[in-house]
Structure 1
Amino acid sequence: MTATVAALLAVSAAGCTSPPEPPDRPSESASPARDIRIAAVGDMNGVRTYAPDSPSGRNAVAITRLVKNNEIDAFLGLGDFQYNTAYCNDYVNYWTRLWGGTKSKLYWVSGPNHDWRPGRNEDLDNFMNGECPGAPQKAASNQERGFIGNGEPYSTDFGNWHFAFLSSAQWRYNPARARELTTWLDRDLAAAKAVGKHLAVVHHEPYFTSDTDEHERASDHKPWINVMWKHRVRLTLSGSQHNYERSCPVNNADQCVYDGMTAFQVSTGGIGLRPFTSSPPFIVQRFSDTHGFLRLTLRENGSFDWEFVPTTGSSTDVGTRPAPQ
């Protein structure tokens, strides 16, 4: 990919060189480390949407092609899979018709309201476990772990990277449970960091974001953000805003720092886009005129490349973050 944009270089140039070679090198017979390739997007499918030439359809076709051609190792679904209030029939009759080909590599989180509201729409976890009539395939995360409840956290490794998946709906529906998950996150990230993994976190509602007429930042997530900063999470992925944003490497005090989190907010899956109504200084790239998805290439040393792939519209974002010191 091309070099990172000037704004990111300004905050990360100081001290962002690759670490020295470790003293114990692998033997010549060992398999070389392989880059991890990921696609990610949220806010995917509109009400009764199944047209391949819709913004949802164009994204679905492009990501499905990557899955079928084995060009990505995982597809991260960042919440709000099917609008407006989705049940089994909606996932089967609409989402599956466009996005079903991604399920074999899909790792997911449930967002509040559209994906999951206790006592109302609670079918997403059943759908991801292949339990909705007409859609027996399981998501990749469920193939690995079995049934995953809508608000249940989980984590998995992709090469030398460790990803924690959290349902931000817990902050809306059960704050006490959300605070308990802060402890889970702390322990999960600590264990992964102790064995040398680079860290990433996925959740639906963003903390590092611009406002829109519909949503402000998810300020109640701050306990999670504090834990992410404590363990020096490298990147976060979220959705919800119906636009695209990337932060500088940012800490838990909204400051651009070389060892902060690069926060990607990618809610351009197909739903109507929203303009921004604020301009926080930690956001270094954003647009609200293009549907598409994010591609990431994660390397063993903690460096990564990103590219926003436009599918309806022309805005994009391409760059590289160097390895940590």
Structure 2
Amino acid sequence: MVLVGLTYRKRVRGVAAIAAALLVAAAAGCTGAPEPAGPPGGTASPAADVRIAAVGDMNPEGNADPDSRSGRNGAAISRLVKGNEIDAFLGLGDFQYDTAYCRDYVDYWTQLWGGTMPKLYWVSAPNHDWQPGRNEDLDDFMNGQCPGSDAKAAINEERGFIPNEKPYSKDFGNWHFAFLPSGLWRYDKAAASAATTWLDTDLGAARAAGKHLAVVYHEPYFTSDTDEHERAANHKPWINVMWKHRVRLTLSASQHNYERSCPVDNADTCVDDGMTAFQVSTGGRTLRPFTSSPKYIAKRFSDTHGFLRLTLHGDGSFDWTFVPTTGQSTDSGSRSAP
């Protein structure tokens, strides 16, 4: 049964309204202004490590099986949340397939992944999470507004309602994360352009405050091709801004496999001060083989489901480990401070 007539149903936003909202939000600082680097005239205390889990492309349609690939991932990350072993779970989009409405998030995703909500910071993915005029319920679900589920994601507990198409940012210790909705490039290019301006302002302010920078978005730019998807070439304006401000790492999903790049610049060249791009779409959907081999990809596999764990240090260094939950492949390493 499709839910209709709900009071919280989506509005149809025009290009000008979205663009104006983004610019006003940036000016007002309500999208997450960077925290001060330390007390004026004093010495800041060393920033604590930040512990993160991340994955996207999570639950197949109609699935509530705890022993499924999705169920194993959801249970593993939920245990980390319950045990306070991570500070944040970054949901990289495509939470529930195929066309997800309130009832699908409540009846399926919540059954396997609901335990992650107290630490969840999310981005919407185009098509499966959000497509204007089709399925627009993810933002209501994350704000506890779907019948049958009043739990809120961590970011919603902090900020209130966040529309699918609105970027936001959040500081974790000495790291600053920007969260970008990839769907803007499909559905509203003017709003995507406004988000580019917002990103430039947001990252510039955070960098000036001494933060190390990271960006989360669903459709990957630094990726190998599959039969379903090539790189999100239309995201290049965002990539240029990330390179301008020397973003340290990015997280994305969509491809249904795992990839890690070398530190890469906006011209696909491995450089010492580039971005380490993680593409982690191994949440539970059927995995896809690769059909190209970009030189900037340092590690990849398409035979294992699991999730990425990151430990971010206050000096800008970080460690990573891919945790397999169905399959044997893994990846781990460290990147030194800038």
Shared fold, TM over 0.5:
yes
**Which residue among 47, 55, 60 is the counterpart of 2:69?**
55
Q: CA deviation at 1:170?
A: 0.5
Q: Quick one: distance in 1 between partners of 2:213 and 2:278? A: 14
Matched, 1:121 2:131: no
Question: Who is 2:263 aligned against?
Answer: 249
Matched, 1:169 2:186: no
Structure 1, residues 90-110: CA drift from partner, whole Å, max 9, x if none?
000000000000001000000
3-state DSSP of counterpart to 1:308: strand
Question: Who is 1:223 aligned against?
Answer: 237
Q: CA deviation at 1:26?
A: 4.1
**Which residue among 289, 297, 300 is the counterpart of 2:314?**
300
The root-mean-square deviation of aligned C-alpha atoms, in Å, is 1.0
3-state DSSP of counterpart to 1:249: strand
Structure 1, residues 25-73: CA drift from partner, whole Å, max 9, x if none?
848xx5x531100000000000011111100000001000000000000
Q: Quick one: distance in 1 between partners of 2:134 and 2:271? A: 42
3-state DSSP of counterpart to 2:263: coil
Alignment of 1:163-312 (within 5 A): 163-312=177-326
Counterpart AA for 1:55: R
Counterpart AA for 1:67: V
**Which residue among 112, 117, 121 is the counterpart of 1:98?**
112
Question: Who is 1:7 aligned against?
Answer: none
Structure scoring higher RCO (CA < 8 A, sep ≥ 6) equals 1
Q: Quick one: distance in 2 between partners of 1:182 and 1:67? A: 32
TM-score of the aligned structures, taking structure 1 as reference length = 0.91
3-state DSSP of counterpart to 1:118: coil
Structure 1, residues 76-132: CA drift from partner, whole Å, max 9, x if none?
000000000000000000000000000010000000000000001000000000000
Alignment gaps of 5+ in structure 2: 1-40
Counterpart AA for 1:173: Y
Question: Who is 1:76 aligned against?
Answer: 90
Structure 1, residues 159-185: CA drift from partner, whole Å, max 9, x if none?
000000000000011111101110000
TM-score of the aligned structures, taking structure 2 as reference length = 0.87
3-state DSSP of counterpart to 1:245: strand
Q: Quick one: distance in 1 between partners of 2:176 and 2:294? A: 28
3-state DSSP of counterpart to 1:294: strand
Counterpart AA for 2:190: A
In the alignment of these two chains, the number of paired residues is 298
Question: Who is 2:155 aligned against?
Answer: 141
Question: Who is 2:53 aligned against?
Answer: 39
Q: Quick one: distance in 1 between partners of 2:42 and 2:248? A: 24
Q: Quick one: distance in 2 between partners of 1:52 and 1:186? A: 42
3-state DSSP of counterpart to 1:126: helix
Aligned-pair identity (%): 76
Counterpart AA for 1:159: G
Q: Quick one: distance in 2 between partners of 1:34 and 1:65? A: 22
**Which residue among 98, 106, 109 is the counterpart of 2:123?**
109
Q: Quick one: distance in 2 between partners of 1:195 and 1:242? A: 36
Alignment gaps of 5+ in structure 1: 1-23
Q: Quick one: distance in 1 between partners of 2:47 and 2:94? A: 34
Counterpart AA for 1:307: T
